[in-house]
Structure 1
Amino acid sequence: MTTAVQTPPTGPAAKPANSRFRVIAASLIGTTIEFYDFYVYATAAVLVFPHLFFPSDDPTTSLLTSFATFGAAMVARPVGAVIFGHFGDRFGRKATLVASLLTMGIATFLIGVLPTYGQVGVLAGILLLVMRLAQGFALGGEWSGAALVATENAPAGKRALYGTFPQLGAPIGFIIANGLFLAINFSLPGVDGAPSEAFLEWGWRIPFLASAVMVIIGLWVRLKLVESASFEKAQAKGALKKFPLGETFRRYWKQIILGTFIMLATYVLFYLLTSFLLSYGTKATDSPDGVPGLGFRYTDFVIMQIVGVVFFGIFTVLAGPIADRIGRRKVLIGVTAAIIVFGALFPVFLLPRGEATLPLTVAFLIIGFALMGSTFGPMGALLPELFPTQVRYTGSAVAYNVSSILGAALAPLVAVVLWAWGDGNPWLVGLYLSGAGILTLIALILSRETKDVDYEATELTH
């Protein structure tokens, strides 16, 4: 197996060209905006799109169709990873990050002005799918670029800590997106917390349109960046490749496979806790289709999710310094084992039990999101560390986003089907998460520790 030369980290430079504040702001603000845009769609995929873009006599069919467009973005993400990775490894991280943010922002804004099925028929769903693909394409290049900005500018011995800054964009973006949806829902109340006619008519568009303001702020921060010392040194050495993708697959295909499966459990866990659980938690316990949910009102359940996501953010930050101290691999092996056990405990937490349902569900969300932060935090350092400088953007982006197809794209769809097969009992859904965890654990066991790799290396050796 190939891995990077194990030498003490020397840091990208004695005096980084980008200040600490600029690095934190550029990696955190950008990913917050990108994930905000992504989660706005995820929430609308449950609350709005099944009714306005994919109406059907069968609510489960409408939900599955909506989740299918949600998952379509995951298919587009590897394409974005290849395109943005190519330009990021050929010409630099800065311009690529600006382009990915613009693409995501424009697509999200346009979703906010799309006509619905009642206005243009099937064309509404097609246009929504196109915008969703554009979102996925943009996110395919966003994460890796932000992770590289953070880690390639990190001081010696603090790459995992700095790698948590772009990871924090996920919980912060989730809280802003769902908090805004919640505020709009409170302002336009429906019956028993369900979306009102005004919300379905125009209120849902506000979060999509509001993204334009956030994008302008993100662009302002990122345009002030300068290239990292790692990239500039590789460029000065003539190590940059004309076709980074070919180089990556030819020489570092093992790292791509390992990185893909190392991320798998993280993706499955997160999209079960967010997209799937929102539909499961807010469905009636006596649903006429015979597949009961937990019966919470939308507003109550989103508040519960936000409480859980706070722990997501806390454990994301905590995991970074621990991974710097004892290694990424040790942290992730322990957390992944806990995720496998957590999957087996789904029926303990997620069955309607009268008054006991609320505390058990809150406990489930807190534990789940704490595990999510613990596994997601070190990824900002680990995946880029699998690859040398000249293919780092492409390699980490491809691994991260191919995993999104296996994990995020399939998770909500598979979970809905398994939930129906289990007649409302989520034990099969939990088993699905445990299975993903086992695959991730195998990948981690087969991998090497990357804590002490030379981050400015342009070659990997045995």
Structure 2
Amino acid sequence: MGRRYVLYITMLGAGMASFLTGFLPTYAQAGIAAIILLLLLRFAVGFFLGGEYSASGIMSVESVTKWRGLASGIMQAGFDLGVFGVTFTYTIVATYLPSSAMTTIGWRIVFWSGIITTVVAFIFRGRFLTESPEWERAERVKSPYKVLFRNYWLPMITILLATMGFLYEYYVMLEPSPFILQDVLGYSAALAGLILTVLSASDAAGSVFGGVLVDLLGGSRKALLVTALILLILIYPTMYGILIGYNGWLVLLWDFIAVLPVGVMQVYIRDLLPANVRSTGTGLGYNGGTWLAAWAAIITTLMAGASTEPGPWLPAITINMVIGSVLMIISYLMAVYLVLRRRE
């Protein structure tokens, strides 16, 4: 269908699904039906966001001829700004409503507030969004998945390894961060919440800088390798400072480092796949990468024994971060092989 029209659908779909979540009955009111409705709406949000990511990220790098990495990084930063917006909204609601009201009307207000950004973004897209030039020049295919798996299965494996690697190393630290800050380092809930809120800004900055590396280094493959090597070099000293040095603010530095590959990925995918199957490949490659990432926090926590002492967490986090970095390096080597094969 192209990037432009899909982005109209995904914006309205994700926004309306989130908005309707605010009207859900509680378990006390509707029993199992409340759970089923929640799952259906969460599935809808995931469905539309999958299309949003696959179209918006690719469109951002297809629509420019220079500074593609910067375009990719800015697009990725939008997710982080959205997270900041949600966190900020929740904080405001929690501050001005009594705690008892948060379980009745407070959480609903947070979901309803999303309709504002949905409407604003839809109007903005309607006025300024134009179709990707690369898509308009591309030959159409009737079955993108068939073409993808028949002709581009090796690039898809290359993309999957990269996305599994960076999402895995990212979630290794991100998911356990609240537990580590409060239960391991002994920070108060308020201070831990402040650090986690500022993480959104650190995320956004890291995404943009990772994208800029693509432009500065002259390609997405080099940028992926450099970000993976930066991770490998800085994993242990940063984790040592956080856990053994009891400096929770270093989580912001680590988050900046860990998110660098995110700004690279849109250009990396563009360089590996043709325009007529690129969005399909992005949706499958990026969301497929979350399959491994979904286990990151569980595996790391099991290795650390869910300890409230920092000692067990240092090797657990370091080892799993190394796994993610190595997967990205393997992907880089495969991408180099694909380039050499094309030249032959």
Specify the TM-score bucket, using the shorter chain as the normaliser.
Answer: 0.7 to 0.9
User: Per the alignment, do residues 107 and 295 of structure 1 end up closer, same or farther by CA in structure 2, a change over 3 Å counting?
Assistant: farther
User: Per the alignment, do residues 272 and 208 of structure 1 end up closer, same or farther by CA in structure 2, a change over 3 Å counting?
Assistant: farther
| Counterparts of residues 10-89 of structure 1 (less than 5 Å) | none
Q: CA deviation at 1:384?
A: 2.2
Counterparts of 1:130 and 1:158 in 2: how far apart (Å)? 39
SS in 1 for 2:53: helix
Counterparts of 2:84 and 2:173 in 1: how far apart (Å)? 14
Counterparts of 2:278 and 2:95 in 1: how far apart (Å)? 45
The question of 1:410 aligning with 2:295 is answered yes
Aligned twin of 1:398: 284
Aligned twin of 2:19: 109
Aligned twin of 2:269: 383
Counterparts of 2:194 and 2:73 in 1: how far apart (Å)? 24
Deviations 1:101-133 (A, max 9, x none): 222112211222222334334443333222222
User: Per the alignment, do residues 347 and 168 of structure 1 end up closer, same or farther by CA in structure 2, a change over 3 Å counting?
Assistant: closer
Aligned twin of 2:249: 362
Deviations 1:139-165 (A, max 9, x none): 21111211222112103x322122222
User: Per the alignment, do residues 345 and 183 of structure 1 end up closer, same or farther by CA in structure 2, a change over 3 Å counting?
Assistant: farther
Counterparts of 2:100 and 2:188 in 1: how far apart (Å)? 16
SS in 2 for 1:223: helix
The question of 1:310 aligning with 2:201 is answered yes
Deviations 1:195-231 (A, max 9, x none): x322233212222111111111111122232222222
TM-score after normalising by structure 2: 0.87
User: Per the alignment, do residues 183 and 412 of structure 1 end up closer, same or farther by CA in structure 2, a change over 3 Å counting?
Assistant: farther
Residue type of the alignment partner of 2:336: R
Counterparts of 1:271 and 1:123 in 2: how far apart (Å)? 32
Aligned twin of 1:51: none
Which of 254, 258, 265 matches 1:372? 258
Deviations 1:235-254 (A, max 9, x none): xxxx2101111101110011
Q: CA deviation at 1:422?
A: 4.6
Aligned length: 337
**Percent identity for Structure 1 against Structure 2:** 25
The question of 1:219 aligning with 2:122 is answered yes
Q: Indicate conservation of the 8 Å contact 2:168/2:296, yes or no.
A: yes
Residue type of the alignment partner of 1:169: G
User: Per the alignment, do residues 406 and 396 of structure 1 end up closer, same or farther by CA in structure 2, a change over 3 Å counting?
Assistant: same
Q: Indicate conservation of the 8 Å contact 1:150/1:163, yes or no.
A: yes
SS in 2 for 1:448: helix
Q: CA deviation at 1:263?
A: 1.5
Counterparts of 2:61 and 2:209 in 1: how far apart (Å)? 17
User: Per the alignment, do residues 300 and 331 of structure 1 end up closer, same or farther by CA in structure 2, a change over 3 Å counting?
Assistant: same
Which of 83, 104, 107 matches 1:201? 104
* Structure 2 unmatched runs, 5+: none
Q: Indicate conservation of the 8 Å contact 1:97/1:142, yes or no.
A: yes
User: Per the alignment, do residues 249 and 154 of structure 1 end up closer, same or farther by CA in structure 2, a change over 3 Å counting?
Assistant: same
Aligned twin of 1:151: 61
SS in 2 for 1:325: helix
| Counterparts of residues 40-439 of structure 1 (less than 5 Å) | 91-155=1-65, 157-188=66-97, 196-224=99-127, 225-234=129-138, 239-282=139-182, 285=183, 293-326=184-217, 327-344=219-236, 348-351=240-243, 357=246, 360-363=247-250, 365-407=251-293, 409-422=294-307, 425-427=312-314, 428-439=316-327
Q: CA deviation at 1:387?
A: 0.6
Residue type of the alignment partner of 1:446: M
Counterparts of 1:129 and 1:122 in 2: how far apart (Å)? 11
Counterparts of 2:5 and 2:51 in 1: how far apart (Å)? 11
